[in-house]
Amino acid sequence: MEFQFDLIIVGAGSGGLAAAKRAASYGAKVAIIEVNKVGGTCVIRGCVPKKLMVYAAKSKKNMISSEGYGLKSEGIIFESKILLKNVREEVSRLSNLHKNSLKKLNITIFEGLGRFITQNELEIICPKSKKILNKVSSKKILISVGGKPKKLNIPGIDLAWTSDDIFELDGFPDSILIVGGGYIACEFASIFRNLGTEVTQLIRGKSLLNGFDEDLSSCLEESTTSAGINIISSHQLKSIRRVNENLESTLDSGEKIITKNILIATGREPNLMPLNLDFLNLKMDGSYLDVDEFNQTSNPNIFAIGDIINKPNLTPVAIEQGRVFSDNFFNNQKRKVNYEYIPKAVFTIPEISTVGLSEKRAKEIYDDKNIKIFKCKFTPMSNTFIENKSKCMLKIIVNKLTDKVIGCHMFGETSSEIIQMVSISLNAGITKKDFDITMALHPTISEEFVTMYG
């Protein structure tokens, strides 16, 4: 069979774009299919627009809490319509930049929904009319369609928003119930509250950020509560109904909560349904596509990267997966993705960052007696004249058998910027002694990482 392309990528998100550009740089004839704007979850409805909202929330918080520094905050007005309009314009600008960069590399862009018709062929469908716009074929096909928000199977769920809907709002509500305790829920709770919305956060478990280090979770809960967010733990949402201009949420306890709007932020899942994959009988890993160390599915012509495989669902991970894929199959390299010591951040206010093992996980792997914890908690100098003095927390986890640092965690301002550099150290195999003999930069928050002794 004669193929039109060397590579077709379904999904123009971070991973798909990285794979397309890298493959094209090696001379491959590449096409990319996208049903929405070019850019994917991160650029269109995730990291980028959300971080812009975080900057807005942080700016307002700083303005109204800085009178101790002689800054008067009377007359501050927040216009959510202006913020949302500017966020959408920036998203469109970035999407167009990505689209133009593909065109410069002679990568063909097909706008529409890609559906498999054979293991090497796809049809491109108009999402509105359902008409077939084109049919394309390729030696290799890379699936990079990303995820979609999970929805609860309860009465009235269509009355609630998902995280995708937030960026299309005309304005912020006066009050909101946020369902979920993960990073998406916590970030939006922080954004809304700091921009003036009354926030209630409903979590199924006992604590926020399940899976993160417990000290990070407790620091965030303390900060969240002090910011005026009402946390309801160990309960679930059972139904939603409209009552006049409001929404009434009924919990499993029978308690009813009245808010203007509801955001369901209970996680994301692979967006595989539209692809028509059933006839290919691809091996699955739960709800994810199963791939080998080279991101090859059980069909040798089909590959998968990003949020549809059971690896850390993070933008830099998807980008690296895409580049490694193209390096291997279009430049004869034998690269593998290094999944150790991937830094993570939660952009609450203050923010959280982490790299390596949590205390609980480290003790499970190496035994309690072989783990040593170094930790400090303090008020940063920037909060000296601020009434609501949020704390910083820094934590180092050390394997006593080797003196290697196997985990670093931080809660506090600029923690994401600090942990990026720490992750380099952990990847290089740094020891606690290396931390100890490093000179501190004073006065900074990060100096605490090299001045903790025990």
Catalytic annotation, residues? 442
Residue 285: phi and psi, rounded to 5, are -120, 80
All residues at 6 or more sequence positions from 408 whose CB lies less than 8 Å from its CB, including other chains: 354, 355, 356, 394, 395, 396, 397, 419, 422, 423, 426, 449
- The one-letter code for the residue type at 436 is D
The two tokens of residue 207 are 């604590």
The two tokens of residue 97 are 């930049």
The two tokens of residue 286 are 């739960």
Helices (H), 271-355: 315-330
Contact 335, 326 (CB under 8 A): no
Contact 123, 132 (CB under 8 A): yes
Residue 225: phi and psi, rounded to 5, are -65, -45
Residue 345: phi and psi, rounded to 5, are -140, 150
Closest by CA position to 359, among listed 405, 292, 310: 405
* Cα separation, 376 vs 392, whole angstroms: 8
* Cα separation, 105 vs 97, whole angstroms: 13
DSSP structure string for 382-411: GGTT-SS---EEEEEEEETTTTEEEEEEEE
Going 46 to 51 to 56 to 57, the CA torsion angle's sign is: positive
* Cα separation, 24 vs 97, whole angstroms: 17
To the nearest 10°, the Cα dihedral for 11, 14, 19, 20? 60
The helix or strand, by DSSP H or E, that contains position 365, with its residue range, turns out to be helix 359-366
* Cα separation, 304 vs 285, whole angstroms: 12
Q: Which residue has the tokens 């593909």?
A: 102
The radius of gyration of the chain from alpha carbons, rounded to an integer in Å, stands at: 24
